[in-house]
Chain A
């Protein structure tokens, strides 16, 4: 049989990333539930730093690393460069994450926080090298998806380098400007440079595939790439030099145009889809796009109130940050996990039986009821938490975070049930 070979060595790498990310998500939800007060205060405080890094690294980045190892061969049409590098990257990343989140929580900017930062940077650097060398092997040199992914890795590395500098700046105060000014640059390199570019790159390939779209408007992806990167570079240069100012509106406009271009591409995938039924994981993904747009709408309010020196700027910053991290990214991951994880488990458990007897489909591997609970709880979270944050209502914020905790537990048990899925007796009639 003339065939392509599945990469069996990827299985444990991907699984361990998914499992640990799901665990981090439940820990994050619990941390948030027990520290509601921090969300209404200034964004630069120890617990919020711990929460943000748990969300961005333990939840978002860890699962993106795992999913990338699985999806890169699909997107770049080549095999992963090195499995060993992936394991080294994972080991450094996890050690760094634990050290960093704990030392942020108790705020001890000493040797352990510094070591955490260095470990994380090493893990990220190894991941970046692996992706870069995988990309170089790809024959599809001109694909815009590849540009998105490789550029995202560069931005992640820049984010991590600045992050480490900020950690050392706590102790040695060597940076030439205000710590908060660098924090804005660090956050936006992470949000727009890493998360946004990477998710656009991967979804540009997967969305038309999942929906069977006949006419995805790919030209908007090119536009999106240049607008987002251009806006991000301008934001970094301008904000470093002058801080948030009136020009920031125009830079935001350029970035927003880039996101709208991407959303036009997404819309074209949906409108030209041959597969009409939209499954629950894709519904979660659609919610993610709505939350991304909502985050974008919140951004000009931050600039507006910041320029007026109004305290509302802090509230909108919290809204903006949570809409992106707990809203957009979480909804995206909560949905896409069940479009990716069941496949890798299915291949491991059922590939040898395919065609010999009736096997369950990958979509049968996750629990539909748990997914409904997770999705329902997440919608309740959105309806309670974000309005609660705008109205500064601790009651609605707490209620929202309770729903978030339920969504996290539903997700965790569902991931666990997929990973622990056992093949029934092959002779069994109902298999």
Chain B
């Protein structure tokens, strides 16, 4: 779950990034990666014009892993043309179903 600090000068930009990342869908579950809780952190490097995304996958050898990581990079560079995107894949903390947001659970349950 990403936390936002209102005093952070990039907090609104980060929110935009998160909103953009809702377009990236897990192809099997058909839920966006934000509501799946796969994105752990977003960092903006204004000087380098770079967006850093720290995220995980549901399994280390997730068959769609590379596709999802590539989709994140493509999506950000398409939505924020002045910025380059870097995706950092992390395995700590390990993803579990508890990371799915309430909205994600609602979408998965079809209610």
Contacts and interface: CB of A to CB of B under 8 A. Distances in A.
B87 A3 contact: yes
Interface string A263-285: 00000000000111100000000
Contact of B64 (A1, A78, A276, A343): A343
A369 interface: no
B18 to A, nearest CB: 15
Contacts of B76: 355
A217 B67 CA distance: 31
Contacts of A352: 70
A361 to B, nearest CB: 5
A70 to B, nearest CB: 7
Interface in B62-88: 62-76, 78, 86-88
Q: Give the size category of A's interface with B.
A: 35 or more
A211 to B, nearest CB: 10
A425 interface: no
Contacts of A274: 97, 100, 105, 108-109
A267 B96 CA distance: 20
The prevalent SS among residues of B at the interface is mixed
A78 B61 CA distance: 7
B25 A351 contact: no
B50 interface: no
Contacts of B67: 6, 346-347, 350-351, 354
Contacts of A275: 29, 108-109
A1 B69 CA distance: 8
Nearest to B88: A2
Contacts of B60: 4, 77
Contact of A361 (B30, B75, B109): B30
Nearest to A361: B27
Contacts of B63: 6, 70-71, 73-74, 343-344, 347
A236 B75 CA distance: 58
A210 B73 contact: no
B28 interface: yes
Interface size class of B (residues with CB under 8 A): 35 or more
B51 interface: no
Interface string A208-224: 01101010000000000
A210 B29 CA distance: 8
B108 A4 contact: no
Interface string B84-111: 0011110000000100100001001111
A103 B93 CA distance: 57
B62 A74 contact: yes
A78 B59 CA distance: 11
Interface string A1-28: 1111110000000000000000000000
Interface in A330-363: 343-344, 346-347, 350-356, 361-363
A92 B68 CA distance: 37
Count chain A CB atoms within 10 A of each CB in B30, B67, B108, B109 and give the residue with the most: B67
Nearest to A213: B97
A341 to B, nearest CB: 12
Contacts of B28: 209-210, 343, 362
11 contacts: A74-B63, A78-B61, A209-B59, A347-B64, A354-B68, A354-B71, A355-B70, A355-B72, A356-B78, A361-B30, A362-B27
7 pairs of A and B residues whose beta carbons are closest in the complex: A355-B74, A355-B71, A354-B71, A355-B75, A275-B108, A6-B66, A276-B109
Given A346-B67, A347-B67, A355-B78, 18 more contacts: A2-B87, A2-B88, A3-B65, A4-B66, A6-B65, A6-B66, A74-B59, A76-B61, A77-B61, A274-B100, A275-B108, A277-B110, A344-B63, A347-B64, A350-B67, A354-B68, A361-B27, A362-B28
